[in-house]
């Protein structure tokens, strides 16, 4: 396309010109610190989640590093209108994640408040979730959980303010007897996924697992 000639896609890390569908060049790709977690194994995410709510399995694609490549990738997705980056991250995830014979019943991504969704124009987790759904043949539901309050990004809040937030999410309907995989971008304190997990667990005989693009640990 003509636009590609005048505005070529560049690696978000080193600036080399790359294919329009890529985020990073092959050299920079080797610098991404993938976790190589076992979905069924003991991870730092599982340890933290178990302090907050009963969790089945956990997985993180990357290690989140301040000012590192993983942070650049997440920020491209969240704040620079690179919604398609979610598809790329999902493809990287499917190459590394093995549910074996225990696939979850439903994929559920952390929602944005309607005002935030309008400002950003998209939920950075939706295309990621939908790509995983298609690959693994697992349904998703973007309407099950709603965010009740409009607030600034979790990353910009101090720890005390995060812990003080009450009932940030609610269910739009009842759900029972399901194993739900809860999807978020970055796992830090675990408070966001914990709030949603309890909405699910209190609804019926449900189980919750957690998948994130990156873990800050």
If you write DSSP's letter for every residue of the chain in order, what string do you get? -HHHHHS--B-TTT--B--TT-SS-HHHHTT--B----TTS--HHHHHHHTTS----EEEEEE--TTSHHHHHHHHHHHSS-TTHHHHHHHHHHHH---TT---SEEEEPPPPHHHHHHHSS-TTHHHHHHHHHHHT--B-SSSEEE------GGGS-HHHHHH----EEESS---S-EEEEEEEEESSSHHHHHHHHHHHTTSS-EEEEEEEEE--
Q: What pLDDT sits at residue 3? A: 47
pTM flag (> 0.85): yes
pLDDT tens, 186-195? 999 999 999 9
**Least confident span in 14-23, 53-62, 104-113:** 14-23
Instruction: Answer whether residue 20 shows pLDDT above 50.
Output: yes
Please answer whether residues 70 and 33 qualify as being in contact, where contact means their C-beta atoms are separated by less than 8 angstroms. Answer: yes
Q: What pLDDT sits at residue 154? A: 52
Q: Give the domain ranges of the chain.
A: 1-31, 33-215
Q: What pLDDT sits at residue 39? A: 97
Per-chain mean pLDDT for the chain: 90
Residues 6+ positions from 88 with CB-CB distance below 8 Å? 21, 22, 23
pLDDT tens, 63-91? 998 889 999 999 999 888 788 899 999 99
Residue with tokens 């491209």: 76
Q: How confident is the model at residue 157 (pLDDT cuts 50, 70, 90)?
A: low
For the 33-215 domain, the top CATH level (class) is alpha beta
Q: How confident is the model at residue 4 (pLDDT cuts 50, 70, 90)?
A: low
């Amino acid at each position: 396309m003509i636009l590609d000639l005048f505005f070529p896609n560049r690696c978000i890390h080193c600036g080399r010109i790359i294919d329009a569908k890529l985020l990073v060049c092959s050299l920079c790709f080797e610098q991404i610190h993938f976790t190589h977690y076992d979905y069924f194994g003991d991870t730092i995410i599982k340890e933290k989640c178990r302090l907050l709510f009963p969790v089945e399995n956990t997985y993180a694609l990357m290690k989140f590093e301040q000012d590192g490549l993983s942070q650049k990738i997440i920020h491209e997705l969240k704040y620079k209108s690179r919604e398609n980056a979610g598809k790329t991250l999902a493809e990287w995830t499917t190459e590394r994640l093995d549910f074996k014979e225990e696939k979850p019943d439903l994929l559920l991504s952390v929602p944005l408040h309607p005002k935030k969704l309008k400002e950003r124009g998209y939920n950075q987790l939706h295309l990621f979730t939908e790509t995983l759904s298609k690959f693994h043949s697992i349904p998703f539901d973007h309407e099950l959980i709603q965010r009740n309050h409009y607030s600034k990004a979790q990353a910009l809040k101090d720890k005390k303010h995060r812990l003080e937030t009450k009932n940030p999410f609610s269910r739009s309907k009842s759900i029972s007897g399901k194993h739900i995989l809860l999807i978020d971008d970055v796992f830090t304190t675990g408070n966001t996924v914990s709030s949603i997990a309890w909405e699910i667990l209190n609804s019926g005989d449900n189980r919750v697992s957690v998948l994130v693009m990156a873990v800050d640990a």
